[in-house]
Structure 1
Amino acid sequence: MSSFLLRVCLMMTAIGTLAYSKSHSTRKPIGTGIEVNVRVLYDDGVAPSASYTEDHNVGSQPIGKKFEEIFQKVQEKFKQENVLIKVNAPKVKPLKNKDIRVLLNGSTTELDGQRTLLQLVKTQKQHISRKNEIVYFFTKTGIFSQGREDDNLPIRRTNVQTRGTFCSTNVSAAVVMYYEKEPEDFPFRATALIFGSTREFSLKSEDFKYMNDTFARCTLNEPASQPEHHCTWNTAWVDRPSKIRNAPLQGLTRVAGSSAKWKPAILLTRRCYIGGG
C-alpha cells in the first residue's frame, strides 16, 4: 500500500512539474531591452560602515561585489520567469542618514517598515535622476507593518516597497531584509511588486500583464519621458489599514477629528496594497 501511495505521489509531482514547466515555456517573454539601475544603501547590521571603502567586506567578499552578485541572481530569477530585464551593477553606499530608520511604535529595535520607506523616498528623491532607477535599503533589523499607533499586532515583513512605480514619475524604492542564506530572494520579491506584479513569486498571467504595462512606460534602455498615465489614482475611505491590500507608497493618514477612520493618501484604482512581503 505504501509503495502504491509513493508511486501516486511521484506521478502527481511529475505532472505538477510538467505543467509548471509548460506554462513557463509557452509564456511570451516580456521586459526585453528594459534596464534597471540600482542604488543600494545598507546599515551597520549588514556591514559596519565606520571604515567603509568600496572593497569593504561582507563576510569574506567585498561589499560592492557582494551586492553585484545578489542583483545578478535577481536578474536570473526574473529570467526564469521569462522576464528578460537587465539589472545593471548597483551603486553601493552605507546608510549615513540614520533618520531613514524609523522604529516601530513602542520598540527600540524593530523598524516601522512603511514609515522607513517614506523616509527612504523622501531622502533619496534628489539622488534619483532616471525613472528606471530603484533604491534599496538593506537591513538585518526586523521590518514590521503597523497600521495604527495602537495596533498591538504589527506584521513582520521581508520587504516593503513602492508598488508599481517603476518607470513612473514616482520614486521606486524598497526596504529589504538582508538574509544571508538567499540574499537575492527578498529583493526579487520587492522588485516584482515595484514592477506592478500582485505576487512576489509564482507569477501568474495577470502579473505578466501588469508588469508588461509598467514596462510600456519605458522605452528600450531608457525611461519614458511622458508623464505617467498608466493608472487612474483615487482616494478611498477605510475603517482599518489591514483592509487595504497593495497600497502604494504614501500609506495611510489619520483623518482629522476621527479616531476610527483612516484615509489612504493615494490608491491605485486597479489594485491597492500596503507594500509588504
Structure 2
Amino acid sequence: MRRILLVMFFMDLRLNIVASNAAQHGRNKIGEGIKVLAEVYYDSSYNKKPKSRTSSEHGTNKNSEDPFQDHFEQLLKKVEKRFNQQNVSIKIELAKVTQVTNITVPYQMSLMSIDGQKTLYNLRNYSMYLGAPNNTVHFLYTKKDIYEYSDRGDRMPLVLHDVETYRTFCTNNVSAAVVSDKSKSWDYMYSVKALASTFGCLRHTRFFKPDFDTMEETFRHCHGSNT
C-alpha cells in the first residue's frame, strides 16, 4: 500500500514540475480575462454527505449551499491552477452545484457504471435549454465507472475517465463533460482534460504551440466573458 501511495505522490509531483517548467520557458500568457462558468451536476453515486463545516469555519452561514459545494470548489481550483501553471490565465467560477438523477444512463443496465456517450448526449440536451452564456461548461461528475461500447473481439467496454464535447467553448454549441470523480489525488486531471478538449486541445498534461494557437483562436470568440 505504501508503494502505491508513493507512486501516486511522485506522479502528481511530476505533473506539477512539468507544468512549472512550461511556465518558465518564456511562453506569453494567454487567456487573460477569460472566465469559465462551471455549472456542476453530480449523480446519485454521491450518496454520502461530506462532513459539514460550521458557519464559523466558513465565516458565514452556508446552510443553504449544496453539501458538495466545497468539494467541487476545491476540485476546480486545482483545475484552474493547472492551466495557470501552463500560462493559460483563465479563471473558473463555480456557478452552481446541483444533484441530478435523470441524466446518467446505465451501461447495459448496470447499477455500478454508466454509458459515457449516452450520458453526454443527455447532458447536452438538458443543458441546451438552460440559456447559459456560451462561456459556460456543464460538468456532470460521477463516482461510477464510465464505459463506452466496443465491438473488439473480447467485447469488453472501453474504460473512460471523461467524455466531453470538443472545441465548443464560446460557440453556439453547448460545452459539456461527463467526468469521473473518485476522490483520488489525481482525479482533477480528468477535469483538466475535459476542459482542454472544450477549448479544442488534443493534449492536457502539457501544452505545446499548436495547443496555445488553438486556445487563442477559441478565446477570441469569448467577448465579455470576463464580466
Q: Is the contact made by 2:22 and 2:86 (CA closer than 8 Å) also made in structure 1? A: no
Alignment of 1:46-195 (within 5 A): 46-48=46-48, 54-57=64-67, 63-96=68-101, 98=102, 100-105=103-108, 107-146=110-149, 152-182=155-185, 183-195=187-199
Amino acid aligned to 2:218? T
Amino acid aligned to 2:78? K
Deviates more, 1:199-208 or 1:112-121: 199-208
C-alpha spacing 1:164/1:147, structure 2 compared with 1 (3 Å)? farther
Amino acid aligned to 1:88? E
TM-score (norm 2): 0.77
Q: Is the contact made by 1:54 and 1:64 (CA closer than 8 Å) also made in structure 2? A: no
d(CA) in 1 for partners of 2:121, 2:154? 19
Deviation at 1:66, TM superposition (A): 1.8
Amino acid aligned to 2:207? L
Deviation at 1:47, TM superposition (A): 3.9
TM-score (norm 1): 0.64
d(CA) in 1 for partners of 2:45, 2:131? 25
Identical pairs, percent: 31
Amino acid aligned to 1:69? Q
d(CA) in 1 for partners of 2:107, 2:166? 21
Deviation at 1:200, TM superposition (A): 2.7
Amino acid aligned to 1:190? A
Q: Is the contact made by 1:46 and 1:138 (CA closer than 8 Å) also made in structure 2? A: no
Q: Residue in 2 aligned with 1:206?
A: 210
d(CA) in 2 for partners of 1:133, 1:22? 27
Amino acid aligned to 2:146? I
Question: Given the alignment, which residue of 200, 216, 219 partners 2:223?
Answer: 219
Q: Is the contact made by 1:29 and 1:83 (CA closer than 8 Å) also made in structure 2? A: yes
Q: Is the contact made by 2:43 and 2:104 (CA closer than 8 Å) also made in structure 1? A: no
**What stretches of structure 2 of length at least 5 have no aligned partner?**
1-16, 50-62
**What stretches of structure 1 of length at least 5 have no aligned partner?**
1-16, 58-62, 224-277
C-alpha spacing 1:151/1:137, structure 2 compared with 1 (3 Å)? farther
Amino acid aligned to 1:93? T
Amino acid aligned to 1:29? K
**Structure number with higher helix proportion:** 2
Amino acid aligned to 2:107? L
d(CA) in 1 for partners of 2:220, 2:190? 25
Q: Is the contact made by 1:172 and 1:194 (CA closer than 8 Å) also made in structure 2? A: yes
Quick check: which has more Rg, 1 or 2? 1
Count of paired positions:
197
d(CA) in 2 for partners of 1:150, 1:222? 49
* 1:22-69, Cα deviation, whole Å (9 max, x unpaired): 6753111111111111111111222458xxx74454xxxxx1122112
Helix, strand or coil at the partner of 2:39: strand
d(CA) in 2 for partners of 1:104, 1:47? 19
Question: Does 1 or 2 have the higher relative contact order (CA < 8 Å, sep 6+)?
Answer: 2
Helix, strand or coil at the partner of 1:137: strand
